[in-house]
Amino acid sequence: MAVQLRKLDEQVVVITGATNGIGLTTARTAAEGGAKLVLAARSADALDQLASELRRTGTQVATVAADVGKAEDVARIGQTAMQRFGRIDTWINNAGVSIFGRSEDIPIADMQRLFQTNYWGVVNGSLEAVKHMKTRGGGAIINLGSELSDHSIPLQGIYAASKHAVKAFTDSLRMELEKDKAPISVTLVKPAGIDTMFVPHAKNFMDREPALPKPVYAPELVAKSILYAAQHPKRDVFVGGAAKALSATNFALPGLLERYLRATMFKQQQSKSPSAPNRRDALYAPNPHHELRQRQGMDTHVIETCPYTATSLHSNKILPLLVGGAALFGAWKLTHRPRSAF
């Protein structure tokens, strides 16, 4: 069954993790496009401020203070959407957090908490969306994976594991819905490194402050990709040519990629600044000082446009394969160093 999705200005859009980073950027972009919004995050105060901002522009907004790791909280998001607007057209499972450090240094309780948000939050949101969409004309479920959905790196192993799990669940759900001929599009979005509050929100078990490896892209690129998928069924979307290149290299040359990552990622994920002894993160609770910020404001160059992502979104099925081949060649050039470099 062909899935027919509404135009953005006709949609009711649910966004989790809506008060900073990609979620906040997507909420503001969707509001500009005329969508009705149901915004969820853990901070009620930040949600109220955001809702007031968007209502001043004429946007219809409902908010739900919720922890996506709790199924009962996610059920309240769905109930609020139905009570306020009568349907859900797009559900965006965006909430997520990371942990930096060697796997042997991270307490199991912290790993489990990360999975509650990153994985179970996606499961809870997806199943709630399916429950409402199946009986009301369908819609789009958009899950935020990562470039680390397809490969891993040292020092963020548990985060990568959660994003692998998100990919597996998303792919399985898509196949099941297609078997049922349900009019629901299921998309996995896999961004490269993005200039958001990702690093300040992450819990850190390293001696130095975490850093995001280059290249780093603008959150607006992710928001635009998400909202394109909300209107045009897409299986998956890589945001950033680097994400596609690394995924393609992992598929074709996994050993070579691991050698490259082993040689570079330990240094690239640690800044020169020592980790503060009183450092706050957002693993267990929101940090009010980091709310309502789309970007961290990184010292490194942030890429504002991405020809690969634009091409893969708007072209037919053949051209992305050609562009992907070019990305693979670029990745090979990037990783092909003399043996001594590894």
- Is there a contact between 41 and 65 (Cβ–Cβ < 8 Å)? yes
Give the residue among 86, 85, 168, 186 at the shortest CA–CA distance from 127.
Answer: 186
Angle at 68 between CA 64 and CA 71, to 5 degrees: 100
Give the residue among 144, 143, 145 at the shortest CA–CA distance from 130.
Answer: 143
Specify the 3-state DSSP secondary structure of 65.
Answer: strand
Determine how β-strand 12-16 pairs with β-strand 90-93.
parallel
Q: How far apart are the first and last CA of the chain?
A: 49
- Is there a contact between 281 and 98 (Cβ–Cβ < 8 Å)? no
Integer-rounded Cα radius of gyration of the chain:
19
DSSP secondary-structure letter at 137? T
Residues with catalytic function: 159
Specify the 3-state DSSP secondary structure of 194.
Answer: strand
- Is there a contact between 36 and 12 (Cβ–Cβ < 8 Å)? yes
Structure tokens at 121: 């939050």
- Is there a contact between 41 and 23 (Cβ–Cβ < 8 Å)? yes
Specify the 3-state DSSP secondary structure of 5.
Answer: coil
Structure tokens at 92: 């965006």
User: Quick count: other Cβ atoms within 10 Å of Cβ 193?
Assistant: 24
Tell me the β-bridge partners of 274.
208
Specify the 3-state DSSP secondary structure of 70.
Answer: coil
Within its chain, how far is the Cα of 230 from the centroid?
14
